[in-house]
Chain A
Amino acid sequence: MKTIALYSIKGGVGKTAAAVNLCYLASLDASQTLICDLDPQGASSYYFRTTASGKYNSEKFLKGCKKIYRHIKATDFEHLDILPSDISYRNLDIDLSDEKNPKKKLRKNLSDLSEEYDYLFFDCPPNLTLLSESVFAASDIILVPVIPTTLSLRTLEQLIGFFEDNELDTGKIRPFISMEEKRKTMHREIIEQLRSAPGILSVSIPYNSEIEKMGIYRAPINAVRPDSAAAAAYRQLWSELRGAID
Chain B
Amino acid sequence: MATSDNRLMNALPDTLYFRVLESCSPEPAPGTNLPEGWRLDRISSRKERQTFYDTFENHAYQKGLLVVRKKGHIEVCRLDTGKCLAETAFPGTPHSFFPASLPEGKAREMLMDCSSIRAFMRQSSIDVMISSWRVLDDNQKTVAILNSESLHPADLNNSDAFARFHAITPLKGYHRELARILQALPEPVDAYRINGFRERYMHIIESGGNVVGGYSAKIRLQLDPEATIHESVRRLLQFATSVMQANEQGIRKDIDTEFLHDYRVALRRSRSILRQLMGIFDPHRTAWALAGLRELGKKTNQLRDNDVCLMRKERYLQMLPPALRPALTIFFDDLSNERRVLQRQFCNHLSSIEYRKFMTEWEAFITEEPLPDQELAPNSALSTKSVAAKAIRKAWKKVIVHGRRVGAEAADGDLHELRIDCKRLRYLLEFFVSLFPPKASGRLLAHLKELQENLGEFVDISVQLDFLLGRLESINATRDGIRLAAAIGSLTSSLYREMEMARNTFGETFSRFDDEQTRDQFDELSTSLE
Q: Which residues, 188 to 246 on A, are CB-close (under 8 Å) to B?
A: 218
Q: Which of B3-11, B78-86, B435-443 contacts A (4 or more CB under 8 A)?
A: B3-11
Check A115/B8 contact, CB under 8 A, given A53-B176, A72-B173, A74-B172: yes
Residue of B nearest to A84 (CB): B173
Q: Which of B139-147, B214-222, B319-327, B406-414 contacts A (4 or more CB under 8 A)?
A: B139-147
The 8 A CB mask of A127-144 against B (1 = contact, 0 = none) is: 000000000000000000
B179 at the interface (CB under 8 A from A): no
The 8 A CB mask of A71-91 against B (1 = contact, 0 = none) is: 111101000010000000000
Taking residues whose C-beta sits less than 8 angstroms from the other chain, chain B's interface range is 10 to 19
Task: List the A side residues contacting B9 at CB < 8 Å.
Answer: 116
SS class, residues of chain A in contact with chain B:
loop
A8 at the interface (CB under 8 A from B): no
Check A115/B139 contact, CB under 8 A, given A1-B2, A32-B2, A73-B172: no
CA distance A76 to B136 in the complex (A): 10
Task: List the B side residues contacting A162 at CB < 8 Å.
Answer: none
B171 at the interface (CB under 8 A from A): yes
Count chain A residues whose beta carbon lies closer than 8 angstroms to a beta carbon of B: 22
Task: List the A side residues contacting B142 at CB < 8 Å.
Answer: 74, 76
CA distance A186 to B134 in the complex (A): 48
B1 at the interface (CB under 8 A from A): yes
A30 at the interface (CB under 8 A from B): yes
Residue of A nearest to B173 (CB): A73
Check A50/B6 contact, CB under 8 A, given A74-B174, A81-B172: no
* CB of A11 to closest CB in B, whole Å: 25
Name A72's contact: one of B6, B7, B172 (CB within 8 Å).
B172
Task: List the A side residues contacting B173 at CB < 8 Å.
Answer: 50, 53, 71-74, 81
Q: Which residues, 65 to 107 on A, are CB-close (under 8 Å) to B?
A: 69, 71-74, 76, 81
Q: Which residues, 6 to 49 on B, are CB-close (under 8 Å) to A?
A: 6-9, 11
A73 near B174 (CB under 8 angstroms)? yes
Task: List the A side residues contacting B1 at CB < 8 Å.
Answer: 30-32, 118
* CB of A244 to closest CB in B, whole Å: 19
The 8 A CB mask of A112-125 against B (1 = contact, 0 = none) is: 00111110000000
A182 at the interface (CB under 8 A from B): no
B8 near A74 (CB under 8 angstroms)? no
CA distance A148 to B140 in the complex (A): 36
Task: List the A side residues contacting B7 at CB < 8 Å.
Answer: 115
* CB of A195 to closest CB in B, whole Å: 35
Task: List the B side residues contacting A48 at CB < 8 Å.
Answer: 141
Task: List the A side residues contacting B176 at CB < 8 Å.
Answer: 53
* CB of A50 to closest CB in B, whole Å: 6
* CB of A29 to closest CB in B, whole Å: 9
CA distance A76 to B1 in the complex (A): 20
* A interface list, Cβ under 8 A from B: 1, 30-32, 48-51, 53, 69, 71-74, 76, 81, 114-118, 218
**Nearest 4 Cβ contacts at the A-B interface:** A73-B173, A49-B141, A74-B171, A74-B172
* Selected A-B contacts with CB under 8 Å, 25 pairs: A1-B2, A30-B1, A32-B2, A48-B141, A49-B140, A50-B139, A50-B141, A50-B173, A51-B139, A53-B173, A53-B176, A69-B8, A69-B11, A71-B173, A73-B172, A73-B173, A74-B142, A74-B173, A76-B134, A76-B141, A76-B142, A81-B172, A116-B2, A116-B8, A118-B1
